[in-house]
Chains A and B, each alone.
Chain A
Amino acid sequence: TGDRQGHDEL
């Protein structure tokens, strides 16, 4: 979960 680039799903 470290590399989340923000949540890109709706």
Chain B
Amino acid sequence: MNIFRLLGDLAHLASIFVLIHKIQKTRSCRGISFKTQALYALVFVTRYVDLLYHWISLYNFVMKLFFMASSCYILYLMKFRYRPTHDPSIDTFKIEYLLGPSFFLSLIFNYEFSLTEIMWTFSIYLESVAIFPQLFMLQRTGEAETITTHYLAALGIYRALYLPNWIYRYITQDMVDPIAITAGLVQTGLYLDFFYVYFTKVLHGQKFELPA
């Protein structure tokens, strides 16, 4: 564990708390892509099956449980509790385009051709693109509530912080995880446009609006 990974994980935790807070405070999941949230739930479930047979640390165990439980809770909030506030007609990204390639890539580029290893690899590839439906929705509506942008920023910062973590681990432990690094670069890259607007506008008190 190093400071970058710890801060990254805390940013990830923060993003989830911000999202739940947004839904409960506004009593609405307007502006949130159900598809992206469902993909994250799938990411956590497929990645964390090792909970059942591989002990790493208490920290690791608790965080994994939290991410699985909170992602399912968010799906519950969106699908049942605040269902009327979710508008599927603007959440139209075809997730088959993300699920299919992630699955086939995980069959080809993996560390070991075993069920759990392929599930892990699939989850890494899928996570890197799972934000697409959310960004697509943002693009369509052209604007977002400020609190939603804080959620996205925390999520992007989490991924960005994993990059110095890998550099640090390469230097200090000689550890390289090419699959995670490649996917992490892609995932962080997807946030660059968003970060630009967030840091230049939202943090200066302006509304998140994309140029027409």
Q: Which residues of A contact B (CB under 8 A)?
A: 1, 4, 6-10
Task: Name which residue of chain A comes closest to B180, CB basis.
Answer: A9
Total interface residues on B, CB under 8 Å, equals: 19
**B120/A7 in contact, CB under 8 A:** yes
**Residues of A contacting B57 in the complex (Cβ-Cβ under 8 angstroms):** 8
Which chain B residues numbered 148 to 176 have a C-beta less than 8 Å away from chain A? Answer: 162, 165
| Shortest distance between the CB of A4 and any CB in chain B (Å) | 6
**B67/A6 in contact, CB under 8 A:** no
Does B25 count as interface, using CB distance less than 8 angstroms? no
**B9/A10 in contact, CB under 8 A:** yes
**A10/B64 in contact, CB under 8 A:** yes
The 9 closest A-B pairs by CB, nearest first: A1-B111, A6-B54, A8-B56, A10-B63, A10-B9, A7-B120, A6-B50, A6-B56, A4-B111
